[in-house]
Amino acid sequence: MENNKNKMAAGKAAKEYFFILLGAFVMALGIAVFLVDAKVVPGGVSGLSMALHYLTDEKVPVGLMMWIFNIPLYIWGVRELGRQFGARTLVGFTSNAFFIDLLRGAVPGFRGIHLHDHPSIIALQQNDFFMAVLVGGVLLGVGLGIIFKFKGSTAGSDVLAAVGQKRWGVKPGQVFMTVDCVVILIAGVVIQMKGLAMGRPVLTLTLYALLLLFVSSRIIDVILDGFDYARSAYIISSKTDEIAKVIMKDMSRGATAFEARGLYKNQKREVLYTVLSRKEIGKFVDDVKAIDPKAFVIVNNVHEVLGEGFRPRI
C-alpha cells in the first residue's frame, strides 16, 4: 500500500514538472519569437530583461538576464516564504530563461536557431503588428497559466507580491500593477533613447504593452478557472415537488432541497438547488416557468464541478 502511494505521488510530481516545462516553453515562444523584436514589453522581470537587452544593443541575452534577476528574488522568496518557492519555482524560471535564449539562438551549440527571424514571423510583424502582439500575449498567458495550474512559478513579481503581502499587507494586485507600470515606463525610455521604435510612437508601444498585460492576465484566469461550463440554480417555488421531478427524472440530475423562510411574508418554504450544463439550463428555466410562472429562479456560473455527470478539469 505504501509503495503504491509513493508511486502515485512520484507520478503526480513527474506530471506536474512536465507541464511546468511545457508552460515555460510556451511562455518562451511568446516572448522570444513575438515580443522581443516587437519592442512590446510584458512587465516584470521579463520586461526589465528586455529593456536591458535593448540598452546593450542586444548583446545581453534576454533569458540570461531573466535568470540573473530571478536568482536573488528566488533566494529571498525561499527565506521569507519557505519551501513553497522551492524546486518548482527554480525549474520554472530556469527553464523559461533557457528556452527564450534557445529559441533566439543565444545558447552555445544552438546558434543556428533563430525562430524569430522566420519569414512568416517577420511578415506578421510588418503587416499585422497587432496580431503579432496578440499572439505573443496569448502564448505568454497560456504558458504562465499552465505553470501556475501545476503549482509552479516563474519567481520575479510573484516573489515581490507574496513577500509584500506577508510583510506589509500589500495586495498582490497592487504589487503587480506597480511593478509592471514601472518596468513598461523604463522600457519606453530605453526604446526612445535607443531609437528602436521602428517608426511607431513610443506611446503606441506602451499602449500595446498594456493590452498585452490585459490579454495575458485574462488567459491566465481562463487556464486556472476554466470557462464556465456549468450553471447552478436556486429555485424558490410553491411547487418544488413538481420541479424536482423534472430535474431528477427528465434531466437525470441531482437536486438538494432545504428549508428557508421568506422574510417579506415570514413564510417557510423549500428552496431547490441543482447544477446543470450550459445546454440544459435554458430548457430547465422554461420548464420551471411552465410549472410555476411565479417561481423565483437564480442562475449562477460554475467554474468546476466534481461529481457524477460532470467532467473534471485537468
Kindly give the confidence (pLDDT) of every residue in the chain, 314 residues in length, as a single tens digit, with 9 standing for 90 and above: 567 777 777 888 888 899 999 999 999 999 999 999 999 898 889 999 999 999 998 889 999 999 999 999 888 888 877 765 678 889 999 999 999 999 999 898 888 888 888 899 999 988 999 999 999 999 998 998 888 888 788 888 878 877 777 777 777 667 777 888 889 888 888 988 888 877 788 888 888 998 888 888 888 877 776 665 688 999 999 899 999 999 998 888 889 998 888 887 888 888 999 998 777 888 899 899 999 998 999 998 887 777 666 555 55
Exposure string (b/e) for 196-208, b if CB count within 10 Å is 16 or more?
Answer: beeeeebeebbeb
Domain topology for 230-302: Alpha-Beta Plaits (3.30.70)
- Contact present, 255 and 309 (Cβ < 8 Å): no
In the chain, list all ranges with CATH 3.30.70.120: 230-302
Q: What is the pLDDT of residue 23?
A: 93
Give CA–CA dist 298/314, Å, rounded: 29
Give CA–CA dist 302/228, Å, rounded: 6
CA 103 to chain centre: 22
Q: What is the pLDDT of residue 309?
A: 61
CA distances from 237 to 57, 190, 274, 281, 297 (A): 70, 64, 14, 17, 9
- Contact present, 260 and 212 (Cβ < 8 Å): no
The pTM of the full predicted model, rounded to 2 decimals, is: 0.75
CA 45 to chain centre: 17
Of 283, 306, 141, 103, the residue nearest 219 (C-alpha)? 141
226: left (phi over 0), alpha (psi -120 to 50) or beta: left
In degrees and rounded to multiples of 5, residue 269 shows phi and psi of -155, 165
Q: Which grid coordinates are listed for 221?
A: 484566469
Of 277, 237, 235, the residue nearest 255 (C-alpha)? 235
CA atoms within 13 Å, Cβ hemisphere of 116: 23
